[in-house]
Structure 1
């Protein structure tokens, strides 16, 4: 008998996750074997159950926005992801032999998030069931928050709520620390794109409370990124000089 399993420690207990398509007798036999035999631990690089749940949640809610089922959305996104990286198609189930690694799953989650931003969909993921069902914004689940903020900057999208209208390039650090806007070359302070509502909230509650509330902060920019952002935010980066100190 060969059954792929996952043993998870949760809330002070151990839970053995068994594929739902296995017969009751097979599961019962497995439990008896676990009780009566020594267990050899073999490390396998497979995605976690949490990663699998995140991928399905992303595909479900992204699919609803685009008119696809979660299965159709997952297949379309995975095809594009695999083609862009020249890798073989994989399963997003940790219970299958071709289940992807944790690293691939992490990259795939980031890919889905950036894909939604690139195509201007305000994707909010809902997790849990019934009364425990709650929305989670993309910055809460993005594996790489810097890449998430960059994607939002390039699309002029609020990094908190996803709005695409009335979005400002917010100086996370006070521009007064560098002498004012005329000295701003984009390379000395951190930035974050915010809609008017969240821009006002930042100034009302302060940097620390804002960061704690929304789980996000501004990022430093590279010269190449400043070049791109000058086209998106033409009134900013007055002191930036192209070609200066280029490598």
Structure 2
């Protein structure tokens, strides 16, 4: 039933009527004694719109300008997505809603990696907030306005006066990438008002992530980890109990 197209006809109480494209395939399943099937919703018009908009954005900056060239680009992007995610090749006419959503996320990240923010702002609503914050940190965009100018890494948890910002364990702070204007706004209004206005918090990064985006080196992470280990040993030898 996986490749059998199912079209809804009507609903009466708890009984739904569907039209299937391959009756023979359904009959074969029924003869096997199978009576329960899972329905998977197909791609929505909005998802299809986002996909074409994102491919259009990529085409505009990579030299695929004509409709024919963008059709080639779409084919190549689908192929790359399927290879990277081990997903069978699909058609945008009837692909599942879930795979369409995954493909949209793949296209958004591809756009960001190519140095462009998607022109359709609503497309961001298809991605969870923490992933948006991570992508903006990774590819260096302002998380609010998606500018690539005058960017700064904001520590949502106060670093503290007198601390050396060049010698700090970034793994212990919620981070977000902001342009100078929105970074100044954050410090002017405070974290609570900033969140209430823009609806995102910074995120905690692990060792692999801070190294990946160039905030810390492996050596720096190892040095901090050694300090924490020594501190824990001192506390243990002094009889301190963990809180």
Question: Which residue number corresponds to residue 51 of structure 1?
Answer: 47
Distance (whole Å) between structure 2 residues aligned to residue 202 and residue 83 of structure 1: 41
The structure number with the bigger radius of gyration is: 2
Change (3 A) 1:219 1:188: same
Aligned residues between the structures: 198
Among 169, 189, 195, the alignment partner of 2:153 is 169
Is the Cα–Cα contact under 8 Å of residues 57 and 111 in structure 2 kept in the other structure?
Answer: no
List per-residue Cα deviations over 1:31-56 (Å, max 9, x = no partner): xx889xx7436752134414333323
List per-residue Cα deviations over 1:64-109 (Å, max 9, x = no partner): 344434544432321111122233210223xx3xx2x333222211
Is the Cα–Cα contact under 8 Å of residues 55 and 109 in structure 1 kept in the other structure?
Answer: yes
Change (3 A) 1:168 1:239: same
Matched, 1:152 2:147: no
Distance (whole Å) between structure 2 residues aligned to residue 74 and residue 145 of structure 1: 26
The Cα RMSD (Å) is 3.6
Is the Cα–Cα contact under 8 Å of residues 172 and 192 in structure 1 kept in the other structure?
Answer: yes
Q: What are the equivalent positions in structure 2 for 1:167-246 lying under 5 Å apart?
A: 167-176=151-160, 181=165, 184-229=168-213, 231=214, 233=215, 240-242=221-223, 244=225
Greater helix percent: which structure?
2
Q: TM-score, normalised by structure 1?
A: 0.64
Distance (whole Å) between structure 1 residues aligned to residue 107 and residue 204 of structure 2: 24
Determine helix, strand or coil for the equivalent of 2:17.
coil
Among 85, 93, 109, the alignment partner of 1:114 is 109
The unaligned stretches of length 5 or more in structure 2 are: 19-36, 227-243
Q: TM-score, normalised by structure 2?
A: 0.65
Is the Cα–Cα contact under 8 Å of residues 181 and 238 in structure 1 kept in the other structure?
Answer: no
